[in-house]
């Protein structure tokens, strides 16, 4: 039996609802493959602030240091909207990403065939097998530049070094070389200096990958292209803020933001979380779609523990539950079976039991 230690950081609002099912599922699949997944809970975000006076408490940092991977729910919400900027729940998330050095945020956008009619885009536009990978730079750019407020003036500096761009570009080209071999780099090089450097650096990295086709888009056009012709994309490579915005936009193509998982990787351990936030508007009502979080768990098993088969079983089970028509409200279109968060988890568990018997 192998043992892996995982820091479990549910966070705020829906955090507990989305992570508890995913943990049960991972434990079950782990057991089937003789892998003991040991979860240790820690507070982050608003929960950290309430418990320990900081959105990324020392105690949580220490749990992370002893873990092989980090599994996170979501942070933030109205309860902490008025705390000082440097203590906001979101700051805890930025700090943990920085501390772990997870510079590459992988956000795969796939359309499950049974959700095609739920996408706001026409079926003729999304086609059959939409499969985009957004590679978002995660620990640089405008999120991490100098910030300040002087009276009625405020600023956030956006800067990138060639080295920061190079390492994220490498991740994108490596990924593309194993996929459809196309990278679209998204920037604003017609206006921003940091984007000019971004573009030049990406061009340099591209030379090492002659088999991968590189194209560039300005971010405004990219936002439009995602809606009029998403199939043109294979890997989208972009900066921290552009990636944040484009991935929420891209998520609805797949039916709902509640479907999109993510993996954040760097030199050390990985961080796995859904792309959505803490959804305060539906928290505590058994309404939230747990699939993005469950699929983030599959990404963790694959990327951190090399458990490809186990990851596939989880992904397949989600697919089967969708095919059978069990839907939370965000992906319900009026004719399927409307169910709550807990029931979705139970249905996925049932499929997992069946697949594990095979
Ligand atoms: P949000 O992603 O939390 O919610 C946006 C909308 O999508 C809401 O209507 C919500 O109900 C819905 N939604 C989100 N996830 C869903 C799911 N799994 N199933 C069904 N519906 C879902 O974004 P927001 O409302 O702008 O932000 C709320 C809080 O979350 C803020 O404090 C924000 O800073 C924070 N946030 C955190 C993260 C994170 O922890 N990674 C990401 C985004 C936002
Ligand atoms: C996300 C979120 C975060 C981000 C916020 C909450 C800091 O929107 O994970 O996409 O902007 O990275
Ligand atoms: Mn976001």
ipTM here = 0.99
Q: For a ligand 1 pocket test, name from 102, 263, 277 the mutation site with the most ligand atoms within 8 angstroms of its C-beta.
A: 277
274-325 pLDDT tens trace: 999 999 999 999 999 999 999 999 999 999 999 999 999 999 999 999 999 9
Number of domains into which the chain is organized: 2
As beta bridge partners, residue 134 has: 107, 236
Does 150 share its domain with 246? yes
91-107 pLDDT tens trace: 999 999 999 999 999 99
Does 125 share its domain with 75? no
Q: Is the CB of 330 within 6 Å of ligand 1?
A: yes
Question: What residue numbers bound the domain in which 231 lies?
Answer: 120-253
On whether the pTM is more than 0.90, the answer is yes
Of all ligands present, the nearest one to the C-alpha of 142 is 2
Of all ligands present, the nearest one to the C-alpha of 277 is 1
Does 124 share its domain with 249? yes
30-80 pLDDT tens trace: 999 999 999 999 999 999 999 999 999 999 999 999 999 999 999 999 999
As beta bridge partners, residue 187 has: 218
Does 127 share its domain with 73? no
Residue 144 corresponds to which tokens in the numbers above? 């991490």
- Give one DSSP letter per residue of 16-28, joined into a string: HHHHHHHHHHHHH
> What span, in angstroms and rounded, lies between the C-alpha atoms of 178 and 198?
23
Does 218 share its domain with 309? no
- Among 232, 253, 274, the domain-final residue is 253
Q: Is the CB of 271 within 6 Å of ligand 1?
A: no
The count of other CB atoms within 10 Å of the CB of residue 193 is: 11
CA max distance for the chain: 66
The count of other CB atoms within 10 Å of the CB of residue 252 is: 19
Q: Is the CB of 249 within 6 Å of ligand 2?
A: no
188 is known as an active-site residue: yes
Domain of residue 33, CATH code:
3.40.718.10
Q: 3-class DSSP state for residue 43?
A: coil
């Amino acid at each position: 039996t192998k043992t892996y230690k995982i820091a479990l950081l549910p966070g705020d609002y829906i955090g507990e609802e989305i992570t508890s099912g995913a943990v049960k599922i991972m434990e079950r699949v782990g057991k089937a493959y003789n892998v003991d997944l040991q979860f240790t809970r820690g507070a982050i975000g608003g929960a950290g602030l309430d418990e320990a006076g900081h959105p990324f408490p020392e105690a949580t940092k220490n749990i992370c240091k002893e873990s092989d991977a980090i599994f996170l729910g979501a942070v933030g919400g109205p309860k902490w909207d008025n705390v000082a900027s440097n203590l906001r729940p979101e700051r805890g998330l930025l700090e943990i990403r920085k501390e772990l050095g997870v510079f590459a945020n992988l956000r795969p956008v796939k359309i499950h065939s049974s959700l095609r009619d739920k996408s706001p885009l026409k079926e003729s536009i999304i086609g059959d097998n939409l499969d985009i990978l957004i590679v978002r730079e995660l620990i640089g750019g405008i999120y991490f530049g100098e910030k300040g407020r002087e009276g009625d003036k405020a600023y956030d500096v956006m800067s990138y070094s060639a080295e920061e761009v190079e390492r994220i570009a490498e991740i994108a080209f490596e990924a593309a070389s194993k996929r459809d071999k196309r990278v679209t780099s998204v920037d604003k090089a017609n206006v921003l200096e940091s984007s000019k450097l971004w573009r030049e650096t990406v061009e340099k990295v591209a030379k090492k990958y002659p088999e991968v086709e590189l194209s560039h888009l300005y971010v405004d056009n990219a936002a439009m292209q995602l809606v009029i012709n998403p199939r043109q994309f294979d890997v989208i490579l972009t900066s921290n803020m552009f990636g944040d915005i484009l991935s929420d936009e891209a998520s609805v193509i797949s039916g709902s933001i509640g479907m999109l998982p993510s993996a954040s990787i760097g030199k050390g351990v990985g961080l796995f979380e859904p792309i959505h936030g803490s959804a305060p508007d539906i928290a505590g009502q058994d309404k939230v779609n747990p699939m993005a979080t469950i699929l983030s768990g599959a990404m963790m098993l694959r990327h951190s523990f090399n458990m490809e088969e186990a990851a596939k079983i989880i992904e397949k089970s989600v697919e089967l539950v969708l095919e059978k028509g069990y839907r939370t409200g965000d992906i319900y279109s009026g004719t399927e079976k409307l169910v709550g968060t807990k029931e979705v988890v139970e249905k996925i568990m049932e499929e997992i039991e069946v697949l594990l018997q095979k």
